[in-house]
Amino acid sequence: MKSLWNDEAAAAFADDDLAMRVYTSRLLGSSEDLVMHGGGNTSVKATTRDFFGNEVDVLYVKGSGWDLKTIEKPGFPAIRLKETRMLAELETLSDPDMTQQLRALMLDPTAPSPSVEAILHAILPAKFIDHTHTDAIITLSNNPDGERILAEVFPDCMVLPYIMPGFILSRQVNEAIKRDDPAQYKGIILMHHGVFTYSDNARTAYEDMIELVSRAEAYIAAHGSTALPTASHTVDLMDLARIRKAVSDARGVAQLAVLDQTPDAQGFSDLANVADIATRGPITPDHVIRTKRIPVIIDNKPAAGVPEIEQFAADYRAYFDANGSAELQILDQAPRVGIWRAAGSIAFGSSLKECAIITDIARHTRWAVQVGESVGGWQALPAKDIFDLEYWVLEQAKLGKGGTAKPHQGKVALVTGAYSGIGRASCEALAADGAVVFGLDINPDVVAQLGGGAMTGIVCDLTDSSAIAAAVDEVIKRCGGLDIVVCNAGIFKAGERVESHSEQTWDDTLAINLTATQRLMSATIPYLKLGVSPAMVVIGSRNVAAPGPGAAAYSVSKAGITQLARVAALELAADGVRVNVVHPDAVFDTALWTEEALAQSAARYNMTVQQYKAKNLLGREIRSTEVARLVSTLASDVFAATTGAQIPIDGGNDRVI
């Protein structure tokens, strides 16, 4: 591991302790092999002034919710140093008391809560304290012969046995450094947990960490192997959707299933002994709140219902019964990581962000497990230690900031005609309600239009069945399933009477509005049947119930998809898939309406454009965002008992009523 220290960059922070702390914290954070996703923490001891202008010694320590990779000054709350050190001298300190006292010692009560390892940072007698959960060193400690190996590789470090983080760990280290001056050591290694380095000089503390990690890497290179097996398989996407469905059922809410098919993920899933080595425990107990203690191992061709998921849940209940106590409440019993044999690794979670974190941890874990095996054996902490951390109230608090779940959280939606108008608005409404949304459009700008966050644009010509199939495959590969389909794409050409209708307009309109909708249904229904509270919403038109002259092709196509939706509702009810139709009218903020078309239509009725826009019983214009809100609500459990319905959103029309 190379030091990323840069004299020129560092010079700017020479007179500012906290700025220097930010700088080297980010250096640590930039390497995933050192810290991941909020893991690890750093601090600096400095002097500042309180509200009255008095000098006060403080500890700036990483606050919860911040990541070392991106941390800034506000990510380091200042707490009174002397009193924080006094906490370490107490015989006992409950978790609620520790949290409360640390908060009470903050100079700014609105700053983020200090790290649960704050007391430990306070008692280490050096200005800069760096703490990581580095893969290489923990891998050596997760070994049947770990203590001997660490003693051999790190004769100049203090090595302490594993103990749960928080107050008792601070006490353990406090006792140890009273017996044994830490100044004579380069660092402190906590078995199965991580490493502390410390110095009055920021660069030394950082580079000592890099040096210790490099030593572990050299030992691994000499005694084991980091060359991991790779493989390349194709997967059955229906199986992936079945797995996702089973995990969602086990969790009780929709879950995304993000497949990792990187060559090494596939290589790991191929190992004959993967079920053994992958289920011994996490690299560091901290990961348990993200990944649970162990992954589920799934057969390449899982049986119907994926019994592996049920077995995982049963095993989890047994683990809880063996390690829990009466006052604890069991958490959900669904896995977060799946090792799918001869296929790869799957992350299960409620958002893409959560799945990305799980994917990263799973990648580092399989590295550590395989490398650990190559240097003499992978041995994680006993289940009881992992359990204690999983059910530690301070760890659970890290996750419990989500608030109320959104109606479509963990669900996957597909919307056609997504570049503009009702389609675009539907993508936004579904994403705002928590869904991961894929928007299809023939306009290549849809990719930039929807890019980022929970929305993805896919270029797709809906008159090409193979293009539809490819787009649906893409959705399943990315998220593992499909729950909501919004059939919206359509074209509208007015002004042609039946007797003189152009064949081109007729054929194009039916191809896009009607035939493509049936093709999309064919491609998505198999996945919807495996969806969570699945729903299809078809965008019809007021024209279905109240047609007008001069729009035969459009009216016929919309009547056609309405009838298609009714048949689909009948056919799919037994599978729990709801199919409903909305009939909008007078939605003028869509691509169907140009200013010219609007002016022409208004003139036909002898109205101004404004009068024409509001020519309905309620006398109001209807916006595409309003239609989109109806679409998202119709797809939600508010309408769980409704299928085959047709809902006008037209401001009230006497011909329809």
**Residue 116 C-beta: closest distance to Zn ion, Å:** 9
Q: Which is nearer to Zn ion, 194 or 534 (CB)?
A: 194
DSSP per residue, 256-320: EEEEE--HHHHHHHH-TTHHHHTTS--SSGGGHHHH-SSPEEE-SSPPTT-HHHHHHHHHHHHHH
Q: Which is nearer to Zn ion, 194 or 302 (CB)?
A: 194
Q: Which is nearer to Zn ion, 165 or 480 (CB)?
A: 165
29 binds Zn ion (CB under 5 A): no
Structure tokens at 393: 């109230």
Strand 484-487 relative to strand 535-539, pairing: parallel
Q: How far apart are CA 616 and CA 499, in angstroms?
A: 30
Q: Which is nearer to Zn ion, 194 or 490 (CB)?
A: 194
Q: What CA–CA distances, in Å, run from 554 to 541, 546, 615?
A: 9, 12, 21
Region from 194-202, 492-500, 545-553, 620-628 binding Zn ion, contact rule CB under 5 A: 194-202
**Residue 117 C-beta: closest distance to Zn ion, Å:** 6
Residue 327: phi and psi, rounded to 5, are -80, -5
Region from 96-104, 187-195, 523-531, 573-581 binding Zn ion, contact rule CB under 5 A: 187-195
**Residue 197 C-beta: closest distance to Zn ion, Å:** 13
Longest dimension (CA), the chain: 101
Structure tokens at 14: 């020479």
Residue 624's Cβ-side half-sphere holds a number of Cα atoms within 13 Å equal to 20
194 binds Zn ion (CB under 5 A): yes
Q: How far apart are CA 298 and CA 294, in angstroms?
A: 13
Q: Which is nearer to Zn ion, 5 or 162 (CB)?
A: 162
Residue among 347, 359, 373, 348 at smallest CA distance from 274: 373
Output the residue with the shortest Cβ distance to Zn ion. 194
Region from 78-86, 188-196, 446-454, 474-482 binding Zn ion, contact rule CB under 5 A: 188-196
How many residues touch Zn ion (CB under 5 A)? 1
Region from 60-68, 192-200, 568-576, 622-630 binding Zn ion, contact rule CB under 5 A: 192-200
**Residue 413 C-beta: closest distance to Zn ion, Å:** 39
Q: Which is nearer to Zn ion, 124 or 530 (CB)?
A: 124
What stretches of 84-173 adopt beta strand conformation (E)?
128-132, 157-160
Q: Do residues 256 and 336 make contact, with C-beta atoms less than 8 angstroms apart?
A: no
Structure tokens at 375: 């240097």
Residue 118's Cβ-side half-sphere holds a number of Cα atoms within 13 Å equal to 33
Q: How far apart are CA 456 and CA 447, in angstroms?
A: 7
Report DSSP state, residue 451. -
Region from 189-197, 423-431, 532-540, 543-551 binding Zn ion, contact rule CB under 5 A: 189-197
554 belongs to the catalytic site: yes
**Residue 409 C-beta: closest distance to Zn ion, Å:** 30
Residue 256's Cβ-side half-sphere holds a number of Cα atoms within 13 Å equal to 30
**Residue 194 C-beta: closest distance to Zn ion, Å:** 5
Q: Which residue of the set 419, 554, 605, 612 is catalytic? A: 554
Q: 520: helix, coil or strand?
A: helix
**Residue 190 C-beta: closest distance to Zn ion, Å:** 7
Q: How far apart are CA 490 and CA 510, in angstroms?
A: 9
Region from 144-152, 193-201, 260-268, 620-628 binding Zn ion, contact rule CB under 5 A: 193-201
From residue 403 to residue 432, what is the string marking binding to Zn ion with x (rule CB under 5 A)? Answer: ------------------------------
Q: Which is nearer to Zn ion, 146 or 194 (CB)?
A: 194
Q: Quick one: how many helices (H) and strands (E) in the chain?
A: 26, 18
**Residue 517 C-beta: closest distance to Zn ion, Å:** 54
Q: How far apart are CA 260 and CA 110, in angstroms?
A: 40
Q: How far apart are CA 606 and CA 327, in angstroms?
A: 74
Q: Which is nearer to Zn ion, 395 or 428 (CB)?
A: 395
From residue 436 to residue 465, what is the string marking binding to Zn ion with x (rule CB under 5 A)? Answer: ------------------------------
Q: How many CB atoms lie within 10 A of CB 442?
A: 17
Residue 415: phi and psi, rounded to 5, are -130, 130
Q: How far apart are CA 130 and CA 202, in angstroms?
A: 9
Structure tokens at 126: 């050096």
**Residue 176 C-beta: closest distance to Zn ion, Å:** 16
Q: Which is nearer to Zn ion, 194 or 282 (CB)?
A: 194
Structure tokens at 331: 């958490």
Q: How far apart are CA 152 and CA 317, in angstroms?
A: 40
Sign for the pseudo-dihedral over CA of 297, 300, 306, 307? negative
Q: Which is nearer to Zn ion, 195 or 296 (CB)?
A: 195
**Residue 582 C-beta: closest distance to Zn ion, Å:** 52
**Interacting residue ranges for Zn ion, rule: CB under 5 A:** 194
Residues labelled catalytic: 554
